[in-house]
A and B are shown apart, each in its own frame.
Chain A
């Protein structure tokens, strides 16, 4: 059964960035024990700021020094045996602290949950503040579970599930303000298990993160053109739900991937690898950010520029089908 979704996004604006703080505060209020480390970008007015204020003894500010923060988070996890949530401004998590993610977190197999905010181009500010290489990097690091929640409610599900999950994890969220995809947050959710969002017979679109919403909008546009598209929420990039990819290859003769990351090495590459190794002979296209330092502008303009807005996704998908 496809999950129930909403097209009424004006009423459903959410923020995964706020959601992680909200759910951590809920968990602390419920008496769950964990540690929170953060950089110098958690404003007191945010939900994470409220957590820091209410539970100061478990929250540690590391200033603007991401490698030390990630390394110390490994130490905190080893010392306490508790899950450690470590919030880092996304662009500086994947690249500045790559060595610490690899060696201190993944190699030491500690229960640190790295929360990278402002993913993709959502920070604004140009290439220094874009998070585009992270998925390619993370995929090549052993032991690391890679989570890309689609919306605020799913972000909360990941964080709740992570409390009892063994092993290092990175949770990639956007700046916030993206709509909730799922109208009813009560849907079944499991780390590593993709969700069929819509049913369709002409093409499968596999997406993750906030681009699941824009893919859903594209599905609607495609429907108006007479194209029936399945949409898969591949919220966990590692471990990847290979069965969901195999099923897509059987059900539709065309597969499109959509992500707000470099098209090199991320979700699209992961899906392509599986398809190539299992003898898939159908059509395939990766949609994402091109292999260049990106233009700078309002988010909608940037998405339009690269053909990854809802219209752009629909157009590229229809093009793949020759329509």
Chain B
């Protein structure tokens, strides 16, 4: 049976890390002059929990064969992950800024390229690609009897794309228990609320109907994120069970007062004044346990 005793000290450490990543991310976006801060801030807690605790991953050897695979499907939020990679020592912030969309010397871009950045599993940008590819990765792991797991991070607006539902159907059909889809459900897409633009609810019922197990959590509560990730069943390649969807209910622009739940912060850069204001806001909104 599931256990519910997440170590509170490690939760606090991850929360401190998430705070640092949010600040670094804001500096990074300020320096490169572009980003998708709304969706990048909403998924920080999930991203930090994965990379600093739950992914079986070695930043010194990002192509290690036995690693868990993480597929970023909402590819426009790549800067959150670049920021994590620099914090893990894979690149420096200066190197990332110097090689951000610099023509033939570019490594880092608004949308991530796996052939440029070792830590990126799959090149992404256009929406609705990650889940099908992750389905193939999970099938491949099973075929080769590997114990690694595949995680894919999908946006809620992204779920408008029909290919996701083809993949939900196929992964449920093939009973890919080694596949975990995390939906960053921040409730907003580019021009407004998801429920107004293209309603995807009731998402949990839809995913259950596609033969997935579904967990709904507060995706900006590190304890809840850890609890969901800690309680995943083993990813052995033999057992056939339902794939797992974690619906991470989040706030777009999380942590920055003037960005939270404001659709216009979907994309763009920030001025120095906004950076300073945002850093103050991030510190003010930090959670104290």
Contacts and interface: CB of A to CB of B under 8 A. Distances in A.
Interface of A: 35, 57-58, 60, 62-63, 65, 67-80, 99-100, 103-104, 107-109
A65 B140 contact: no
Contacts of B121: 78
B114 to A, nearest CB: 6
Contact of A65 (B141, B144, B146, B169): B169
Nearest to B136: A75
A286 to B, nearest CB: 33
A141 B146 CA distance: 33
B136 to A, nearest CB: 2
Given A62-B170, A79-B146, 15 more contacts: A63-B170, A67-B132, A68-B169, A71-B129, A71-B133, A72-B133, A72-B135, A75-B132, A77-B136, A78-B122, A79-B136, A79-B137, A79-B141, A79-B143, A103-B123
Contacts of A69: 132
B167 interface: yes
B174 interface: yes
B212 to A, nearest CB: 15
B114 A68 contact: no
Contacts of A68: 132, 135, 163, 166-167, 169-170
A26 B14 CA distance: 53
Nearest to A62: B170
Contact of B144 (A62, A63, A71, A80): A80
A77 B123 CA distance: 14
A74 B115 contact: no
Contact of A76 (B113, B123, B129, B137): B137
Interface string B127-159: 001011111111111011010000000000000
B140 A75 contact: yes
For chain A, what secondary structure do more than half of its interface residues adopt (helix, strand, loop), or is it mixed?
A: helix
A35 to B, nearest CB: 7
Nearest to A65: B166
A107 B143 contact: no
A217 B131 CA distance: 48
Nearest to A112: B136
Contacts of B109: none
25 contacts: A35-B140, A65-B169, A67-B162, A67-B163, A67-B166, A68-B167, A69-B132, A72-B136, A74-B122, A74-B136, A75-B122, A75-B132, A75-B133, A75-B137, A75-B139, A76-B136, A78-B133, A79-B140, A79-B146, A80-B144, A99-B129, A107-B113, A108-B115, A108-B122, A109-B115
A65 B170 contact: yes
Main secondary structure on chain B at its contact with chain A?
helix
B29 to A, nearest CB: 25
Nearest to B125: A103
Contacts of A57: 143
B199 interface: no
Contacts of A70: 132
A67 B162 CA distance: 9
Given A68-B163, A71-B163, A71-B167, A79 B132 contact: no
B285 interface: no
A67 to B, nearest CB: 5
Interface in B150-209: 162-163, 166-167, 169-170, 173-174
B169 A75 contact: no
B143 A35 contact: yes
Contacts of A72: 132-133, 135-136, 139, 167, 170
Nearest to B113: A107
A60 B137 CA distance: 13
B47 to A, nearest CB: 21
A103 B140 contact: no
A100 B140 CA distance: 18
B133 A74 contact: yes
B69 to A, nearest CB: 7
A106 B144 CA distance: 24
B126 interface: yes
Contacts of B138: 75, 79
